[in-house]
Structure 1
Amino acid sequence: MHTTTIRFAGLSKFVCAAALITSFQISAQTQSNATTPTTSGLLTAAQYDDVATLLIGKTPASGLPASVNQSQKWATYTQTVETNWAEYTEKIGTPMVEWAKTEVPAVSETVFYPFSGPDFTTAYRIYPNAKRYIMIAMQNAERPLNLGSTNTQLTDQALDILISAWQLYGTHGFFVTEYLERYYYATQGRIGSSTFITIFMKLQGFELDRIVPIKVNSEGDVEEIPAETRNWPSVRIYATKAGKPIVVDYLKMDLSNPGLQASPENLKFVQLASANPTIFKAASHLPQNANFNMIAREILGKAPLVVQDETALNYSALIKSFDVALYGKFVIAHHAFQSYHTDLALAFTQRSDIKPLNYRFGYYKDGNYVVLIARRK
């Protein structure tokens, strides 16, 4: 998910959430501009586990911190996470896993997910055997929100934001990009993408071992930087599940042509990452925009496998180099993007080998969703 403004069906729910977030922004602006004090340097694995456990609405082994125990929002938050994660799992998560088992070739190394936002869940459910997940978006990562180091007022504010976010995710399976920006600036706690990634990893059974800030060096490689660095726009997360270690690299990066041209190291990174199996979901049709054709060309020229919805690479471009399987139903793009993908709509009227899709993937379009799996010829 990249920076764009999108309107959705069920708008009243989003308007209410936006109003709630705006009120927090005003409240936060009346306070000091300093960020919430956090531990400089790295936490221990046990401390990271406590942070993650609190973020999924559970009580860590060390007990509830005083600020959380005194919060009027905690009980609501714990119920909201449980209810909405269950809704997501039943309607989207489990059907996606079962579908991927039979339809998506297994990947055991690296997965590339540009325009991802903090959506680790989709990458993991489609590619559960990968060792490294590369996610790129425009939002800051920052440190995961540590509810154990906040005061009661800030805890209540942060939990209200997270409650609002969860109420949307459970139904839709992704975050609205515009709201991710608001979540970040709404409180002094700076709820960035790493907070949501941490939540998703913990809910899916991962133990978080270590989180470090990273950057892309001049050679286009990711390197870790000192943990004492004040701001963490990009992070690397080391985690383990059932004895299997994985790495998640979340990079704040402008993937537009001007953005990549202004940062040659990022262009080198994209050129390297594009040689991996790639996911696109709810990408706002940016890969079809002329202003993003540099990353589109790299993936079209290098990726061995692409799993995407209609908001990513053009169907007519994909079929030149890939065997493309179609799933679901596609008549027209979401009304915010109606001029896009007329070639895909035509393919759905002409092809007789289209398979069903039994879960939601991407933007709401009258209950119709589409997935394309492109395997390089």
Structure 2
Amino acid sequence: MRFPVARLLWPAFFLTLAACSDPKTSTPQQQPAAPTPTPATPDTVAAAPATAAAPDTTAVQDVAAYLAGQRLSQGSALRPLAQRPTWQAYATDADKSWSKYHAARTDKIQQWAATELDSVRRQSPVIFYPFSGPDLLNVVTMFPTSQTYVLVGLEPVGSVPHQRTLENPKLFTMLKKSLWSVLEFSFFRTNDMAVDLKSVELDGSLPLMLLFAARTNHQVTGVRYVQLDTEGQLTEADSATISRPGPKVVPGVELTMRDKAGQDKKAYYFSADLSDWKLGQTQEAALKYVRSLGPLTTYVKSASYLMHKSYFSKVRNLAMERSRYILQDDSGIAMKYFRPGTWQFTHYGTYKRPINLFAKHYQPELTRAYADTVHRVRPLPFGTGYNWRQNDSNLLLARRTKPLE
């Protein structure tokens, strides 16, 4: 399958891009302990062999920039669309919203994490972010030097938007609606995503991930659709499989990007139900894949307290068995599941009670920890999670004290 963004290019540019593609057959890809760059495939625009001309990667970056309301490349086929008043108004409004967001959260998170997570970042090449939805924004802000991000959520994978979608003025309304809660409160609302990310304009997580990549100063260099076989091996997939996956298929997407320092990295998103029953029936491959990536740092935020429940034990156990570090708010893994003597805890911010929707998940253990006068709680200068106001938020950094088995 050729890279889907080619569908939205003008015919001449399409021919140029097609000429740069090097179709190959799909073969399983073994996952090493530390992920390494993968070769170019029909679904990605990546670096070609030294003997061939390098493919043009600006097309997919221009789509990301267009969705983000940012400047396009000089020769972009999307420039005529960016001249329309609807996009101009959207871009102006987006700049204002993002400036406000960066001042309230990004700048503070970066300053805090540079100190508090300095040693953690150096030992975190792979970040596992369960129950994430399309939230590439927060994980790359918290862990900007990591090489691989693995996000898992219920939302469909989605696709690179076609030109007819980019031409649709309703796209901008849907983008603003989908981003509103994450920019205002730092998290997506699950019920809203269930509707927003199955719309004509936004068919899944990928469009928002592209937007977040652009707004976090990453250049998108490739997109390819992937799936996991029953053993958790990553294989090629086509758009038909991704849009209508069978009951035993775990569909996904691989986003290749480069940060402003020139570091290449990959973000994966898999659409999977992480409950024990669903994993046991059809989707255990998702956890097998994550387990194959070697030591992890697990990041959990606004996770609906699912891993407090007995029937999310498999994903909880994976995080605790394979993680050197776990950074989470109180909606992540309940304190009662951390084995004594295996973890060292640093608490940040304030712990009061969960919001009313999750009131039954109150943890007396955390109240006692936050009242400890010997191991004092450290400040948290930004809001995060369901208690999103700065003076109400909490984070826990759990460091493993025993070697991984």
Q: Give the TM-score category using the shorter length.
A: 0.7 to 0.9
Structure 1 residues 247-266: aligned runs within 5 Å: 247-263=266-282, 264-266=284-286
Q: Distance in 1 between matches of 2:7 and 2:196?
A: 18
- Cα distance in 2 between the residues matched to 1:120 and 1:195: 11
**Distance between the aligned counterparts of 2:166 and 2:323, measured in 1?**
47
Report the RMSD for the aligned CA atoms in angstroms.
2.5
Correspondences of 1:200-239 after superposition (within 5 Å): 200-226=212-238, 229=241, 231=243, 233-239=251-257
Unaligned runs of at least 5 residues, structure 1: 1-35
Give percent identity, aligned residues only: 21
Equivalent residue, structure 1, for 2:329: 309
| SS of 2:344 mapped into structure 1 | strand
- SS of 1:50's equivalent in the other structure is helix
**Is 2:298–2:325's contact at 8 Å kept on the other side of the alignment?**
yes
- Structural mapping, 1:1-377, within 5 Å: 38=7, 44-60=56-72, 61=74, 62=76, 64=78, 66=80, 69-70=83-84, 73-104=86-117, 105-106=120-121, 107-146=123-162, 148-150=163-165, 152=167, 155-186=168-199, 188-226=200-238, 229=241, 231=243, 233-241=251-259, 242-263=261-282, 264-272=284-292, 275-318=295-338, 320=340, 321-340=342-361, 341-352=363-374, 353-364=376-387, 367-377=391-401
Q: Deviations over 1:312-354 (max 9, x none)?
A: 0112323622101000000111111111123212322235410
Report the residue type matching 1:162 in the other structure: L
SS of the residue aligned with 2:151? strand
Q: Secondary structure at the match of 1:254?
A: coil
1:74 deviates by 2.2
CA 64–219 in structure 1, closer or farther in 2 if over 3 Å, else same = closer
Distance 1:365 1:189, change over 3 A: closer
CA contact (8 A) 1:100 1:126 kept: yes
Query: Does the residue aligned with 2:193 lie in a helix, a strand or coil?
Result: helix
Rounded Cα–Cα distance in structure 1 between residues aligned with 2:71 and 2:218 = 16
Change (3 A) 1:183 1:304: same
SS of the aligned residue for 2:304 comes to coil
Query: Which structure would you say has the larger RCO, counting Cα contacts within 8 Å and 6 or more residues apart?
Result: 1
CA distance in 1, matches of 2:144, 2:151: 15
Structure-1-length-normalised TM-score: 0.82
Give the alignment's TM-score, normalised by structure 2.
Answer: 0.77
**What SS does the corresponding residue of 2:113 show, helix, strand or coil?**
helix
Q: Provide, for residues 59-91 of structure 1, a one-character-per-residue CA deviation record: whole Å limited to 9, x for no partner.
A: 422264555544x63233212321221122111
Aligned residues: 337
- State the shift of 1:230 in Å: 6.1
Gaps of 5+ in 2: 9-41, 46-55, 245-250
